[in-house]
Chain A
């Protein structure tokens, strides 16, 4: 029976990545406690490129909630010698980004930019950033990352990618996009559900659940070659793939021996072994940053809650208590806390909990909010939400202050996951 279907799978593999033309509509709600006033001067030469790089940089910084953009009001210096610091001090700007951009002889685009400290009148960054012709936005994201890191002390995540599933009627598409939702690429599109995309730590592969064989099976696909293979297709359900931080192991959830249990395996499918026991549901494993432990969802105590256990099995500890149920845990990049979905009083809340204090904090007002995932710098959390009757992507800063809604052009966006640092 399974063999007969392999031919079908082979054909499905022909599905190539295609660039969708969808553009997201982004709304920002709230602001950081302290916003750094910055001015981004339109880059010299960008009118020839068809994309205002300065606007990409401004958009990135604004969405982080940590910056207040101060209008250059027509001043357009492109070199330090053209900057009259007094002009900028008067406007309250603390940092000023200027630069030029142009096409190179080799077809690449190069931006030379500088970040100037308006108060101290010194140069903070002077750097050239280049990319292939078709990746102008990537140049902007890289510059925004450099500015963000210099001014906040934390790594920027504007150059990272996200993956999510878009559902439109019966059509399910697995999408990879820039962190701002632009530059969408369709990795897989089919009439059966797709769930739980998971990035390999090096960003080269996605593991995910597809129902194309008639039930939930786990696949792994290269984002470079689009080649894909079945990782787990046993009887019943095969789901919830998670990569170990070193990329040498995957955790999956199988029902081949009874109820949903967590198993570990190598990415080539070998060395499959079970690490969770008991009769209840264990699912949604997530590796700790050091690879030594797993967080997971289990109903072993009578309702769905978050549990912790050593990676190779052993006594599990319950992490969430109190009213309601909890799902979809993910470690913060520093390993000190985790984010999860808390269902209480009929509403889902994106919540975090500190390992040391056990303190739970709800970051959202509640609604249809699911599947939270940290940005690689730990400062933002991406999750699935709903607005105007549609599934959308949303982010919230890890302090809960700044929220952002991203509307895809059509359909319901769900199951988002933030990719690794570049």
Chain B
């Protein structure tokens, strides 16, 4: 019985992967600088964008912003990161990002789900101020359900209080 259930789960996962692919490939040709850019049309500028997002030295390489406990406003130290992504999204309207808010485990699971959503929505708002369009942005919260660090200490909590800026491939 158990084995059957597990294989159904696996099938579902496979199905999930399979069904999501078409959406991704549909989006890729338009948005991927690698595919669209070569040689002529966007030449140097596309190359630059591509580099900027993939360049580990670029500020755009930073994809997470962090918060103090029970705070959802983007901190001054992280504002340049969010502003840089806003500018990038403004210049690359085909790119989309998913903003994923997370929290440490202090507070209830439901309160943290709400707090994580407010964190993600705060980043979203700041990206919009920077010129990104609402349609490029999706904000979700994982609350305290997907911790990066799982110990009951500030070392883990600090890592878990964040919003991730995830670009669609």
- Docked CA distance A16–B139 (Å): 32
A-B contact pairs, 22 of them (CB 8 A): A1-B23, A4-B19, A4-B22, A5-B20, A8-B16, A11-B11, A11-B15, A15-B9, A18-B5, A189-B9, A190-B9, A216-B113, A236-B141, A240-B113, A281-B118, A283-B111, A284-B111, A297-B108, A327-B107, A327-B111, A328-B110, A343-B106
Q: Which of B15-48 touch A at CB < 8 Å?
A: 15-16, 19-20, 22-23
Q: How far is the CB of A254 from chain B (nearest CB, A)?
A: 10
Interface residues of B (CB under 8 A from A): 1-2, 5, 8-9, 11-13, 15-16, 19-20, 22-23, 70, 105-111, 113-118, 121, 138-143, 145-146, 152
Decide: A255 and B110 in contact? CB cutoff 8 A.
Answer: no
The reply on A323 being an interface residue by CB < 8 A is no
- Docked CA distance A232–B60 (Å): 35
- Docked CA distance A386–B12 (Å): 32
- Docked CA distance A19–B2 (Å): 9
Decide: B15 and A8 in contact? CB cutoff 8 A.
Answer: yes
- Considering the complex of A and B, which 7 residue pairs feature the smallest CB-CB distances, nearest first? A327-B108, A260-B114, A193-B145, A215-B140, A281-B114, A237-B117, A328-B108
Decide: A12 and B113 in contact? CB cutoff 8 A.
Answer: no
| A196: nearest chain-B partner, CB-CB | B110
Contacts of A327 in B (CB 8 A): 107-108, 110-111
The reply on A368 being an interface residue by CB < 8 A is yes
Q: Which of A180-237 touch B at CB < 8 Å?
A: 186, 189-191, 193, 195-196, 209, 211, 214-216, 235-237
Beyond contacts A215-B141, A327-B108: 15 other A-B pairs, Cβ-Cβ < 8 A, are: A5-B19, A189-B9, A190-B12, A191-B13, A195-B109, A211-B142, A211-B145, A237-B114, A255-B117, A255-B121, A260-B118, A281-B114, A346-B106, A368-B105, A370-B109
| A12: nearest chain-B partner, CB-CB | B12
Contact among A7, A191, A371 with B108 in the assembled complex (CB-CB below 8 Å): A371
- Docked CA distance A414–B145 (Å): 11
Contacts of A260 in B (CB 8 A): 113-114, 117-118
Decide: B111 and A281 in contact? CB cutoff 8 A.
Answer: yes
Decide: B114 and A253 in contact? CB cutoff 8 A.
Answer: yes
Contacts of B145 in A (CB 8 A): 193, 195, 211
Tally chain A residues at the interface, Cβ within 8 Å.
Answer: 51
Decide: A371 and B9 in contact? CB cutoff 8 A.
Answer: no
Decide: A8 and B12 in contact? CB cutoff 8 A.
Answer: yes
- Docked CA distance A7–B19 (Å): 8
Decide: B140 and A236 in contact? CB cutoff 8 A.
Answer: yes
Take A11-B12, A189-B9 as given contacts and tell me if A370 and B108 are in contact as well, using a CB distance cutoff of 8 Å. yes
Decide: B5 and A16 in contact? CB cutoff 8 A.
Answer: yes
The reply on A259 being an interface residue by CB < 8 A is yes
Q: How far is the CB of B38 from chain A (nearest CB, A)?
A: 29
The reply on A320 being an interface residue by CB < 8 A is no
Decide: A15 and B8 in contact? CB cutoff 8 A.
Answer: yes
Take A4-B19, A193-B145, A214-B140 as given contacts and tell me if A304 and B111 are in contact as well, using a CB distance cutoff of 8 Å. yes
Q: How far is the CB of A160 from chain B (nearest CB, A)?
A: 23
- Docked CA distance A5–B20 (Å): 8
Decide: A15 and B5 in contact? CB cutoff 8 A.
Answer: yes
The reply on A325 being an interface residue by CB < 8 A is yes
- Docked CA distance A310–B19 (Å): 44
Decide: B12 and A239 in contact? CB cutoff 8 A.
Answer: no
> Which residue among B15, B110, B118 has the maximum number of chain A CB atoms within 10 Å of its CB?
B110
The reply on A117 being an interface residue by CB < 8 A is no
Contacts of A11 in B (CB 8 A): 8, 11-12, 15
- Docked CA distance A129–B149 (Å): 51
Contacts of B152 in A (CB 8 A): 368
Decide: B140 and A8 in contact? CB cutoff 8 A.
Answer: no
Contact among B13, B16, B20, B70 with A303 in the assembled complex (CB-CB below 8 Å): B70
Contacts of B2 in A (CB 8 A): 18
Decide: A343 and B141 in contact? CB cutoff 8 A.
Answer: no
The reply on A14 being an interface residue by CB < 8 A is yes
The reply on A341 being an interface residue by CB < 8 A is yes
Decide: A297 and B140 in contact? CB cutoff 8 A.
Answer: no
The reply on A178 being an interface residue by CB < 8 A is no
Q: How far is the CB of A107 from chain B (nearest CB, A)?
A: 22
Decide: A196 and B23 in contact? CB cutoff 8 A.
Answer: no
- Docked CA distance A283–B141 (Å): 14
